[in-house]
Structure 1
Amino acid sequence: MAGIVGVVGLGNMGRGIASRLLETGHQLAVFDVREEAVRPFAQRGATVGASPRAVADLASTVLVSLPTPDIVEQVALGAEGLRGGAALKTYIDFSTTGPQMARKVGAAFAQAGVHALDAPVTGAVAGAATGKLQMMLSGDLGAIEAALPLLKNLGHTEIVGDQVGLGQSLKLLNNLMVATSMAITAEATVLGVKAGLDPDVMLRVLNRGSGRNICTDGRWQEHVLTRKFANGFANGLMRKDVRLCMDMAEALQVPLWVGTAVDRLWMQTVLQVGAEENSTTIVQTIEQWAGVEVRGRDTPAGA
């Protein structure tokens, strides 16, 4: 996989992925609809394509990191999409799109002689920039093997299957579980404050006990107690991922009782707090109903 590598989508995750590839000595061709997103990469020596197709005319391997299934489909298969690129041989999707879209795109690329691989990730924005992502790879095993030297610059790779879409299925399960942890942590900590507990003491005890989770031990301390709410993942995207998981469950006829309740709370958070707000603001949905705040003792009022 020597030569130019393409990156399409330079949002929170794509920006970190592209930066990491530059730092590890790769030549890049990039595209994003926002000029302000591509400008820093042009200044660092990357070639800026006028369209996804232009990137695929230069790069035999193109990585995409995009927010929604519809955008993924347009970038991959649209009139100026990647599928028509003269150089493209391997397409690697870091987005969270769900297995149905992954299979649709994969089948279209197969007809064009291009390998499509799932590579949805966990590890957040910091992981993308520091090479500490967890990638869930699925697709043709020969294509995965050829891609591994490139992908290992970005973090840990786990091959989860030889069918396009399996990586997406696992990512949806992961994000449902994260969304559930955030929802129940929001409810529990607001209830605790309403009951008279000190939020700092409450989290300290929870983190030494069996109630500890990724939210109590990190996100709540960094973003909720401080009232910064800057964890880097929007409510609208979290709701989208939960909804995709619910759609997968519906297609497979698996009832998700807890998942359904979590989906309703994320929908309410999007409506009540805002789709563009960071996902730790799910706590504000419950706070507004309860009339209290989960605020650290060292965080001044109004912060």
Structure 2
Amino acid sequence: MSETIYGFIGLGNMGGPMAGRLLDAGHVLHVTDSDPAVMQRLVARGAVAHDSAQSVGDSADVVFLSLPDGKVVQSVLSGEHGLARSSRAKCVVDLSTIGPAAAQRAFEILAEQGIEYVDAPVSGGVTGAERGTLAVMVACLPARYEALTQVLGNFGKLFYLGAQAGQAQVMKLANNLLSATAVAITSEAMALGVKAGLDASVMIDVINAGSGRNSATMEKFPRAVLTGTFDVGFAARLAHKDVRLCLEEAERNGVPMVVGSSVREMLVMTTAIRGQNADYSDVARVVEDWAGVKVRAKS
């Protein structure tokens, strides 16, 4: 049986480390990205560079995508030199967060060319991508899931969500809504405590030992807010995109999201105030400015 050859399109904060893990596992890997610099970092580790998605698909059996949104995914699939035009690829594994409607469109585009689409968004941030500890949510036919289990295991723990494209996206959006809500409400709680005279580091320790602990108090605040670096590595505008997609899906399903709507507005304001390059953790900086405090560890 011949060796499966893999491709990877999108080598940014998440895609780069994931592609690197495939190289570390000894796989032949063909790559492309709009940024030549990030592509060259992987070429230096043994990857083969290409100038288009179609070229990657002409060289690989299974192609992974890690892209910012559904519009970019559709362009990569059906553009002038898109993946759907490739001669070799028979499976596309989409690790992006694009929402269920975009996943279904991607499935249809590829199905017309006889290419399987695997809906497989991931969660766990850049650190999880580097360490191979991501949660990998997968929706595809059971036989394809079984065939991909070993290679997807390089990225983290797998969760099978069913055969229908888009189901894994629903799971990812629900997860990201919770994550964004944790960041927003932790920002407010921490600003209150510091304004009232509490030590930010002690607050985090107490919360993490009690019932209020969450992903923001355990990871994001100690790393990026208490240090004043604001460098989680995930853009606030992308967090807003994910929450917006979640609310759109909730509306389609008749599920009210009062809290979710407030979180979306907080992310809109963060991007408006801090700019398009604002980090996810800049939500806390906006609340700090409003409250007139700095949530920092004491040196």
TM-score, length-scaled by structure 2? 0.97
* 1:117–1:164 CA contact under 8 A, matched in 2: yes
Query: Mean alpha-carbon deviation: is it higher for 22-31 or for 43-52?
Result: 43-52
* 1:235–1:274 CA contact under 8 A, matched in 2: no
Matched with 2:231 is: 230
Matched with 1:69 is: 70
SS in 1 for 2:118: strand
In 2, Cα distance between equivalents of 1:30 and 1:164:
24
Matched with 2:42 is: 41
Matched with 2:192 is: 191
1:4-19 superposed matches below 5 A: 4-19=5-20
Matched with 2:163 is: 162
In 1, Cα distance between equivalents of 2:155 and 2:264:
31
Structure 1 position 124, deviation (Å): 1.2
SS in 2 for 1:91: strand
Query: Mean alpha-carbon deviation: is it higher for 131-140 or for 171-180?
Result: 131-140
* 1:64–1:94 CA contact under 8 A, matched in 2: yes
Structure 1 position 205, deviation (Å): 1.4
Letter in 1 for 2:124: G
Matched with 2:23 is: 22
SS in 2 for 1:207: helix
Matched with 1:293 is: 294
Structure 1 position 45, deviation (Å): 2.1
* 2:235–2:280 CA contact under 8 A, matched in 1: yes
1:96-245 superposed matches below 5 A: 96-245=97-246
Structure 1 position 20, deviation (Å): 0.3
SS in 1 for 2:57: helix
In 1, Cα distance between equivalents of 2:6 and 2:227:
40
* 2:270–2:278 CA contact under 8 A, matched in 1: no
In 2, Cα distance between equivalents of 1:3 and 1:17:
17
Letter in 2 for 1:17: M
Letter in 2 for 1:56: G
- Superposition CA RMSD, Å: 1.1
In 1, Cα distance between equivalents of 2:12 and 2:144:
26
Matched with 1:301 is: none
Q: Any idea what the Cα deviations from partners look like across 1:270-295, whole Å, max 9, x if unmatched?
A: 11122312211111111111111101
In 2, Cα distance between equivalents of 1:217 and 1:44:
33
Query: Mean alpha-carbon deviation: is it higher for 183-192 or for 138-147?
Result: 138-147
Structure 1 position 247, deviation (Å): 1.1
Q: What are structure 2's unaligned runs of at least 5 residues?
A: none
Structure 1 position 197, deviation (Å): 1.4
Letter in 2 for 1:111: E
Structure 1 position 129, deviation (Å): 2.1
SS in 2 for 1:134: strand
TM-score, length-scaled by structure 1? 0.96
Structure 1 position 22, deviation (Å): 0.3
In 1, Cα distance between equivalents of 2:146 and 2:80:
30
In 2, Cα distance between equivalents of 1:276 and 1:265:
16
Structure 1 residue ranges (4+ consecutive) displaced by more than 6 angstroms after TM superposition: none
In 2, Cα distance between equivalents of 1:226 and 1:129:
22
* 1:138–1:159 CA contact under 8 A, matched in 2: yes
* 1:115–1:140 CA contact under 8 A, matched in 2: no
* 1:77–1:105 CA contact under 8 A, matched in 2: no
In 2, Cα distance between equivalents of 1:147 and 1:249:
30
Matched, 1:81 2:70: no
Structure 1 position 199, deviation (Å): 1.0
Q: Any idea what the Cα deviations from partners look like across 1:143-201, whole Å, max 9, x if unmatched?
A: 11111121112211110111000001100000000000000000110111112212122
In 2, Cα distance between equivalents of 1:176 and 1:291:
27
Letter in 1 for 2:243: V
Identity between Structure 1 and Structure 2 (%): 41
Q: Any idea what the Cα deviations from partners look like across 1:69-89, whole Å, max 9, x if unmatched?
A: 110110112121111110010
Query: Mean alpha-carbon deviation: is it higher for 172-181 or for 146-155?
Result: 146-155
SS in 2 for 1:135: strand
Letter in 2 for 1:133: L
* 1:7–1:31 CA contact under 8 A, matched in 2: yes
In 2, Cα distance between equivalents of 1:281 and 1:76:
33
Matched with 2:278 is: 277
Letter in 1 for 2:109: A
Matched, 1:248 2:237: no
SS in 1 for 2:275: coil
